[in-house]
Amino acid sequence: MRIPLLSMFITSPFSGLQEHAEKVKECAWAFQQAVECYVASQCKRFEEFRQEVVKLESEADAIKRRIRGHIPKGTLMPVDKFQLFMYLREQDNVLDAAEDSLDWLSYRPEPGLPEMLEKDFFLLVDSVIAPIEELEKMVIEARQYFKNYAKEQRNLVKGIIHGLRKMEHEADKLEHSFKQKTFELIKDPTTIFHMIRLAEIIGSIADHAENAGDMMRAMVAK
């Protein structure tokens, strides 16, 4: 039962978007813990953290479906519905990539990460954590922009998007050097394959964050 006129106001997709971004941010921590645990030889909790990420991913998926399922045809929003869905997809891909990289690690629990690659590996992982966490901030600030349409607020969002682009570039460079080191130092072909693929999946986390930023740029375009 609803009330006349109030039926015109429907659930805002933006609050869902923010909720989704929060899930993505939460996953950053579990992802980092899992990766560190994988590298540390005596840590037995890798699986536990991986499961945490899997759980967050499925929760985020539910939010994604809820958002998509609750925008009826003809919904009037400050942004294009298509752009919103594209953004959501990229934001969701960030989580998927984090989960994928942990899955990939789990396929080869032994012998773990070669010691001479550890330093570069952690640099690479750290470089993708920041963009994951930045997404939530971007959504919150963008929401504020749609409230006041202020120039400063728009610049703030654009600044975050610009930051994401730079972070992706950094991550790219680190991925590059990690791959180079792998070929230089590792002789075992299986390990090389495992490491190269791992670097690519982790690197894609930053790619998707950047793509999300690009979609956001389109949404805040005048």
Partner 1 sequence: MPQEYFALILGYIFGFYMAWNIGANDVANSMASVVATKAITIRQAVFIAAVLNIIGATFIGTHVTNTIRKSIVSTDVLTDPHVAIIGTLSALLAAALWVSFSTWKSLPVSTTHSIVGAMIGFGIMAGGFSVVNWFNLAAVAMSWVISPLFSIVIAFVMFKIIVKLILSIRDPFARALKLLPLFVGVTFFIVVLSFLFKTPLGQTLAIDTAAALLIAVILSTFCGITGKLILERIVAPNASNGVEEIFKRIQVVMACYVALAQGANDVANAIGPLAVIYFLAKTGSVGSKVSVPTFLLLFGGTGIACGIAMAGQRVMETLGKKITTLSNTRGFSVNFAAATTVLAASKMGMPVSTSHAAVGGVLGVGLAGGIEAVNFNIVFKIILYWVLTVPASAFTSMAIFKTLRLLF
Which parts of this chain interact with partner 1 (CB under 8 A)? Answer: 1-15, 71-78, 146-152
Looking at the Cβ atoms of 104 and 146, the one nearer to partner 1 is 146
Instruction: Specify the amino acid at residue 72.
Output: P
> Minimum CB separation from partner 1 for residue 160, in Å?
19
Q: Does residue 4 have a cis peptide bond before it, meaning omega lies within 30 degrees of 0?
A: no
What Rg, from alpha-carbon coordinates, does the chain have? 20
| 6: DSSP letter | G
> Minimum CB separation from partner 1 for residue 81, in Å?
10
Residue 27 and residue 95 in contact, taking contact as beta carbons nearer than 8 Å: yes
Q: Give the residue from 126, 222, 108 showing the smallest Cα distance to 171.
A: 126
| 1: DSSP letter | -
> Minimum CB separation from partner 1 for residue 70, in Å?
9
Looking at the Cβ atoms of 58 and 148, the one nearer to partner 1 is 148
d(CA 145, CA 93): 24
- CA distances (Å), origin 130, targets 25, 97, 165: 10, 15, 12
Looking at the Cβ atoms of 4 and 111, the one nearer to partner 1 is 4
Looking at the Cβ atoms of 15 and 58, the one nearer to partner 1 is 15
> Minimum CB separation from partner 1 for residue 148, in Å?
4
User: What are the tokens at 198?
Assistant: 């791992």
Looking at the Cβ atoms of 152 and 184, the one nearer to partner 1 is 152
> Minimum CB separation from partner 1 for residue 61, in Å?
19
